[in-house]
Amino acid sequence: MDEVAFLLRPRDGGWVIDGTVGMGGHAEALLERSGPEVRLLGIDADPEALQLAGARLARFGDRARLVHASFANLGDVAAAHGLAEARAVLVDLGISSWQLEASGRGFAFSRDEPLDMRLDPTAGETAAALLNRLPEVELARLLHEYGEERFARRIARSILTRRPLATTGDLVAAVRAAVPRAAWPRRLHVATRTFQAVRMAVNDEPGALRRVLEDGPQLLARGGRLGVIAFHSGEDRMVKQTFRRLEAAGFAALEPSPLEPGDDEVRANPRARSAKLRVLERLP
How far, in Å, CA of 213 to CA of 205, rounded? 12
Mean of the pLDDT values across residues 124-132?
97
pLDDT (0 to 100) of residue 39: 97
- Note the pLDDT tens digit of each residue in 77-120: 999 999 999 999 999 998 888 888 888 899 998 889 999 999 99
Higher pLDDT: 109 or 126? It is 126
Rounded to an integer, the average pLDDT of 213-238 is 95
The pLDDT tens digits of the residues spanning 232-253 come to 889 999 999 999 999 989 999 9
By the 8 A CB rule, do 99 and 53 touch?
no
Tens-digit pLDDT profile for residues 153-199: 999 999 999 999 999 999 999 999 999 999 999 888 999 999 999 99
Q: Are 260 and 276 in contact (CB under 8 A)?
A: yes
Query: What are the tens digits of pLDDT across the range 17-46?
Result: 999 999 999 999 999 999 999 999 999 999
Check residue 30 and give its pLDDT: 97
Q: Is the pLDDT of residue 65 over 90?
A: yes
108-118: burial string, b at 16+ Cβ within 10 Å, e else: bbeeebebbbb
Q: What percent of the chain has pLDDT over 90?
A: 85
Q: What is the pLDDT of residue 274?
A: 87
Which pLDDT score, from 0 to 100, does residue 187 have?
84
Higher per-residue confidence, 65 vs 248: 65
* pTM, entire model: 0.93
Pairing of strands 276-282, 251-253: antiparallel
Neighbouring residues of 183: CB distance < 8 A, sequence distance ≥ 6 = 150, 151
Residue 263: what pLDDT? 87
Cα–Cα distance for residue pair 92/101, rounded to 1 Å: 18
Q: What's the confidence (pLDDT) of residue 95?
A: 85
CB-CB neighbours of 196 under 10 Å:
22
278 or 109, greater pLDDT: 278
Burial class (CB in 10 A: 0-12, 13-18, 19+), 273: middle
What are the pLDDT digits (tens) for 132-150?
999 999 999 999 999 999 9
Q: Could you give the residue ranges of the DSSP H alpha helices within 108-262?
A: 127-133, 136-147, 152-162, 168-178, 192-202, 205-219, 233-246
